[in-house]
Amino acid sequence: MRSDAVKKGLERAPHRSLLRAMGITDEEIDRPFVGIVNSWNELIPGHVHLDKIADAVKAGVRLAGGVPFEFNTIGICDGIAMGHEGMRYSLPSREVIAASIELVAQAYRFDALVFIPTCDKIVPGHLMAAARLNLPSIVVTGGAMCPGFVGDKNVDLISVFEAVGEFKAGKITEEQLNDLENLACPGPGSCAGLFTANTMACVTEALGMSLPGCGTAHAVDAKKLRIAKLSGMKVMELLERGISAREIMTEKAFENAIRIDMAIGGSTNTALHLPAIAREAGVELPLDAFDKISRETPHLTSLRPGGEHFMLDLDQAGGIPAVMLKIKDKLNLDVLTVTGSTLEENLKHVRIVNPEKNREVIRDPSNPYHSEGGIAVLKGSLAPRGSVVKQTAVSEKMLKHRGPARVFDGEEAAVKAILNDEIKPGDVVIIRYEGPKGGPGMREMLAATSIIAGMGLSDSVALITDGRFSGGTRGPCIGHVSPEAYEGGPIALVKDGDIVEIDIPARKLNLLVDEEELERRKQEWQPPRTEARRSYLESYRRSVSSADMGAIL
């Protein structure tokens, strides 16, 4: 066993003495040591219950003859960090999370690992570590939050964000806004729609790294505890059989993950996270792969924010296994999963409990919500190396659009202009210097996008940024523009009034300014002077790649 390095032999008597100080017995010293990587904290609604899930995982490990050792990672709630300086730290935390897991797992020579993450950067950080360490591993994502209920309908966090714009536009009262604030988020779990956190949970299951049903099992559902206990038992089987993470996270498995992401219409942030995870697994995953697979994959679900269904509906309709059955002919069925069996063998056991609900929540490929998948990759003179948009959340009116640019160097200035009614129908809002280097930290723009949606402008105003958008964003919001402004990309050269062309079906994003003028502007452009910081963000700025490469270090 790998853990023998810290517990076997005469010279390890001091090490065993320290283990005994924690109550470890002779019998336990002879058993495999399993690291339980938990992102539990009291800072994030998606994490406050993970101590209970960890208890279930540890029970499963003990039932199967292992010795669990729990340790923690950090986590940042994007919703609470949104719209202020704190959001700069969210994406950079992904690399810190992965590195912290590596440090502990390598120092203690664990034989296997169970990962318990939830939410936007935490799940990718755990998966990056799993791929990097290449031990027998399994992931138990923490589960979605139940929707809230206000008036006569289900609501979620995005309802509150958009209500700020609705209140500004005079569409709702302060009392209605207060009701949403108090009732939209009723308890633990990751926000109730198909935003980044729940997208990553579904993608983790599709990748084969969590047990079937885990991605959509809700935080308050006893099913989640059963899955957690079974996962603790299953990691011992993976250890016994010598099945490590990279045997599961193969190129074919990543193709499956992207295809399910496209079929369910998930967050554009997967275009940052999956390439970063794949790199750790030794798999090349270019941005163009998302567009290629999207063109081949029908969009079968209509979940919030683009539709009206919630994660609860998807779970009740059969979850990710049911989606997989619908597009079984497009998946790589021979891939290995953490069940110890192939995907094809797993799908033989899938039973759709509620076929009537399934028919509408998860449509047949012959009757999709959209003929193409969730993400489109746009290129052109404004984004030579690419940009991404959640095309399934865009109104048909805005799939093609030309309009004058309204340029802002940072999110705060754009939000101020939107709230001051300075943005008019037809405008193209450009928010720049928010990329991985320029931010630094590549902030999400949910404040800007949700206010525009709440004010009723999402069918007439486009937003373009070298930053990124929340998984809760809907409308013509194009992010990850590469090269970013800080590196002198074309987005740095845009001026107010320039005409921008968006053509999502043709995958085009162009700045309609002649080349000579752009060259003249390029000669005059100077990179912005940045404040010297003694901080992690400054080292991140120096090391991070562009968004089209996954913002990797």
Provide the annotated active-site residues: 470
SS3 string, 420-459, reads CCCCCCCCEEEECCCCCCCCCCCCECHHHHHHHHHCCCCC
Question: Closest Cα to residue 230, out of 212, 250, 204, 248?
Answer: 212
Place of tokens 């005994």: 20
Do 440 and 538 contact (CB within 8 A), yes or no? yes
Question: Closest Cα to residue 429, out of 469, 468, 462?
Answer: 462
CA dist., res. 271 & res. 290, Å (int): 7
DSSP annotation of 370 reads B
For strand 153-155 and strand 148-150, is the pairing parallel, antiparallel, or unpaired?
Answer: antiparallel
Side-chain half-sphere CA neighbours of 526 within 13 A: 3
Which neighbouring-strand residues pair with 190? 144
- From residue 89, give the alpha-carbon distance in Å to each of 75, 93, 192, 267, 432: 10, 6, 23, 19, 17
**DSSP string spanning 293-346?**
HHHHS-B---BTTTSSB-HHHHHHTTHHHHHHHHTGGGS-TT-B-TTSSBHHHH
29: three-class secondary structure by DSSP: helix
> Phi/psi zone of residue 472: left (φ > 0), alpha (ψ -120 to 50 degrees), beta?
alpha
